[in-house]
Structure 1
């Protein structure tokens, strides 16, 4: 479980997050909605321990984030932006995912199917749209079976069909597995 309490983060005189509190329980899907600049990405960074709060706390499984990081790192996955190498070095999605974690190719194929890009598994990723790159990033996280899945702007670059796909994924047992 993720507990966020009275979380505040400032950058100089700008308050990016102001007293935010919420809980995310296992098996639930929680979204953070807001306009550009409202603190969604900053909140994600604070939850991941990539940035520290000025006030408040983040707890994972009842432990302060700084104590929980090592214990929780295996139980989390995050996609903050599509993770593709420079165009000249882009491998096929199935090859990149299998090599990146020593994964069984059949498991890679299964996850690529789950995220809707199995049909392009052997194509070079250099021609991928932003939406397909986003799906590839999500596949890479799902391969590790995270207990908590944090997605920062998951519909960025997706066409209407892709937005429906991510909505369905978030409702699926894949996203709700404890």
Structure 2
């Protein structure tokens, strides 16, 4: 168990360091800066895995570029959740299950639009805070989907909890970036 845990902790960091060492980019954020940033998040390994190993991090010049990556990663998680919904749709054939699946499908579509808008708005550095607020709306749509599995009938396990959790973690990274950009 400890060996497996060590692999899960070490792999994202080693992959991150390999990518940045092997593919240096002029004017890019320094490896130590990215690692120091991830240490400030609630989940260092998650940050390194989803932000630190994103191929676009090689060209990131500042935290605003990292913010764009976080918005994009949220959209990727939402897209993957929508694919998961389509895979499990037939397992929820009763009226409550169908209603929940349709609700989540609609919400994830709306969330995708919000994260895309946040990304586009975030490209204009002066709109970073407004982009953050738009992403917050996307997060709310994702959370509403998760909550739908606990109300209006028997409680069921949501088939998209993994993606919901990832979006919540990514949004905590977005909040950290916004707090740093304000100063």
Which category describes the TM-score, using the shorter chain as reference length? under 0.3
Larger gyration radius, structure 1 or structure 2: 2
Larger proportion of strand: 1
Larger proportion of helix: 2
Q: TM-score, normalised by structure 1?
A: 0.25
